[in-house]
Amino acid sequence: MTDLAGITSLEGSGPRAAPPQRAAPGRGRRPRPGRRPTGRTWAVLWLVVLVWSVLGLLPEGEVVNPGGWSFFADFWAHAARPELSADFLADTLDATLTTVAFGVLGTLASVVIGLVLAPVMSQTWWAPATGSPVARALRGAGLLLTRVTVALPRGVHEAVWGLLLIGVLGRDPLVGVLAIAIPFGAITAKVYSELLDEADHAPYEMLRRSGAGRVSAAAYGLLPGLVPAATSYAFYRFECSLRSAVILGMIGAGGLGLQLSLAFAGLQYGQMWTSIYALIVLGAVIDRWGAWLRRGANPRRWGISGVLGLVLAVAAVGHLRPDPAAWFSADTVDRLGRLVDDLVPPALPAGGLFELVSRSVETLQMSVLAISIAATLGVVVALVAARGATSPARRVAAWAARQLLLVTRAVPPPVWALLVLFVVFPGPLPGAIALGIYTFGILGRLFAEAVEELDPRPRQALTQLGAPGTASFAYASLPAALGQLVSFTLYRWEVTARETVVVGVVGAGGLGRLLEEQRAGFDYPAMAGTVLALIAVCLLVDLLSLAVRSSLR
């Protein structure tokens, strides 16, 4: 069964992406065309880029806003005084159900899209059993074209899809579902295609040589062995979909995100905390569900979870009550046509190419600072949060650390950005800090799970010899887990680059802020150009991450 660590490495092309090449016995090392950067070289380069990013994000004037501390303190003081009136609790329950419905249906749709597209994205599908060089070249071109086509929707954040779909469908509940399903379906197709390529191909090849078609050979020779890993990834994607549903709610799709944004606009901190507590409870339930699945190698658990997922899907449709007839109405088709006409061809923003490039650089700097904050804090907290402590005091500390990680990842990035904007003057810096706090909750959890899976004996030996817990972790656990921690960090860097648009829509800088300004001014051609710039930044981050991972294998 694929655990969360394996799932994440699959999506981010981490440790499982390709086994390291080893030299044949007795032949020495395989010659390399040139010197490849070492881990120390990449670390120095990263520090240089980090300093450049910090200097680029610092405002020219003051950084801290002294007048905002009273609002900041007032917000946290209301954590003990959430709004608990019957009417508001009923509204919160309804908003929670809406958020869950978006997540369930969005995940189900993305899995269906992934299952349909994964075969045609895989090398297995396009690899010819026989054929001329021309036929093989055509199949290679088909594979490349398919992957590039599916990469485009994957590179656009679900918040951007939500903004575009609201212009076509209005407040229809389908907006939240489609905004999740389109990019997540493309991501799921990529992951599932890699599962197909990494599977044992002996049964598939035997069926192909017996005359079976590609579809039937894949169905009977490959799919049965991929069910556990594919199902595990589907549940991981469900957790991501719930977080995205909250973000979509903040831009008008409904649910807990909309409730949060309305409460913040009215400075109703008690209502905000009620919504936040609902998110924390929801995140805890999903977290425990996932842990229950990962710890149990019993297929019965997966069967129970599958049945429960179908029940949730039916309940989600009943709660949202979508109107399929409205999706294909003449007005919807007309609005879609006008939106496409407005988006094509793309245009530069009002400030021209210089503004687009400067905001793109700003977005890259935000992602570098955010992931640096998250990785640094994540390593420190993972030491405490990892399960396996023996003393009661350490078990309590581990529990508290895990709750901290749960809270930081349960609160969506726009909320963190709004809170940081209380005490830091507007600009890209608060957006980067907010993304760092949010990503810290995710990375800290992944880091802690990586540490938990290590052999505990080296660390225990150092502890028994009198070494402090920090030293034991630094000399025994950290070196063994370093490769996986770096892989997780690079994966989340790619995701963080996309998520800069989320904090940008609340005024926290980067391409996201530019995109929000263009949306408010109905400048759709410029929006299309900004989205293409965001895709280019994400592609650059993806290529840099790939280069680092390849050199460290």
Q: Hey, is 64 helix, strand or coil? A: strand
Whole-number pLDDT of residue 391: 65
List C-alpha distances in Å: 401 to 284, 379, 380.
14, 12, 10
In a domain, 389, yes or no: yes
The pTM is what? 0.76
3-state secondary structure of 424: strand
The whole-angstrom distance between residue 401's C-alpha and the CA centroid of its chain comes to 22
Indicate if 273 and 357 belong to the same structural domain: no
Cis peptide, bond prior to residue 66, ω within 30 of zero? no
Note whether 541 and 430 are same-domain residues: yes
Q: Is residue 481 part of a domain?
A: yes
- Same domain as 295, residue 353: no
In a domain, 27, yes or no: no
Q: What sign for the dihedral angle of Cα 63, 68, 70, 74?
A: negative
For residues 189 and 196, give the distance between their C-alpha atoms in angstroms, rounded to a whole number: 10
How many independent structural domains does the chain possess? 2
- The parent domain of residue 386 ranges over 51-66+344-552
- Residue where a domain terminates, one of 316, 333, 366: 316
Same domain, 230 and 110: yes
The answer to whether residues 198 and 226 touch, using CB atoms and an 8 Å cutoff, is no
Q: What is the token pair recorded at 337?
A: 């046509």
The rounded distance, in Å, linking the Cα atoms of 336 and 426 is 35
Cα separation, 407 vs 279, whole angstroms: 9
Cα separation, 368 vs 494, whole angstroms = 10
**Contacts of 436 by beta carbon, 8 Å cutoff, 6+ apart:** 369, 370, 371, 372, 373, 374, 377
Q: What pLDDT, on a 0 to 100 scale, did the predictor assign at position 389?
A: 58
Last residue within a domain, chosen from 272, 296, 316: 316
Q: What is the CATH number of the domain that holds 297?
A: 1.10.3720.10
Q: Dihedral angle at the C-alpha atoms of 538, 410, 303, 312, nearest 10 degrees? A: -100
**56 occurs within a structural domain:** yes
* CB distance 359 to 511 below 8 Å: yes
The CA–CA distances, whole Å, from 107 to 242, 277, 278, 286, 349 equal: 9, 23, 20, 14, 34
Residue that terminates a domain, selected from 301, 316, 331 = 316
Whether residue 2 is contained in a domain is answered as no
Three-class SS state of 31:
coil
Do 153 and 207 share a domain, yes or no?
Answer: yes
* CA dihedral for 104, 110, 116, 121, sign (positive or negative): negative
Same domain for 312 and 349, yes or no, is no
Domain assignment present for residue 72? The answer is no
- Per-residue pLDDT 10s for the chain (553 aa) are 333 444 444 443 333 333 333 333 333 444 444 555 666 788 888 899 899 988 888 877 778 888 888 888 888 898 889 999 999 999 999 999 999 999 899 999 998 998 888 877 777 777 665 566 777 777 777 777 877 787 778 778 888 888 888 878 877 788 888 899 998 998 888 888 877 777 667 777 777 777 777 777 777 777 776 776 777 677 778 878 888 888 888 877 788 888 888 888 888 889 989 998 998 888 788 777 776 776 655 677 777 777 888 898 899 988 888 877 777 778 888 888 888 888 888 888 888 888 899 989 999 999 999 999 999 998 888 877 776 655 677 778 888 888 888 888 878 888 888 888 888 888 888 889 989 999 998 888 888 877 776 666 776 676 666 666 666 666 666 677 777 788 788 878 888 888 888 887 666 678 888 888 888 788 888 888 888 888 888 888 877 877 777 676 6
Q: Are residues 113 and 241 in the same domain?
A: yes
Asked if residue 436 and residue 367 are part of one domain, the reply reads yes
Same domain, 384 and 294: no
What are 411's two structure tokens? 């609160």
Kindly state whether residue 241 falls inside one of the protein's structural domains: yes
294 and 247 share a domain?
Answer: yes
Sign of CA dihedral 449, 453, 459, 464: positive
Sorted by sequence, the CB contacts under 8 Å of residue 352 that are 6+ apart come out as: none
Is 479 contained in some domain?
yes
Q: Annotate 289-330 with DSSP letters as a single string.
A: HHHHHHH---HHHHHHHHHHHHHHHHHHHHHH---HHHHTSH
Q: What distance in Å separates the CA atoms of residue 49 and residue 46, rounded to the nearest whole number?
A: 5
* pLDDT score recorded for residue 37: 64
CA 523 to CA 414: how far, in whole Å?
Answer: 23
Pair (441, 518) in one structural domain: yes
Q: What is the pLDDT of residue 3?
A: 38
Give the model's pLDDT for residue 1.
35
Per-residue confidence (pLDDT) for residue 208, from 0 to 100: 73
Residue 45, H or E segment: helix 39-57
Q: How far is CA 207 from CA 197, 203, 226, 419, in A?
A: 16, 6, 17, 59
Note whether 228 and 108 are same-domain residues: yes
What does the alpha-carbon distance between residue 16 and residue 5 come to, in Å, rounded to a whole number? 10
531, 534, 536, 538: CA torsion to nearest 10:
-140
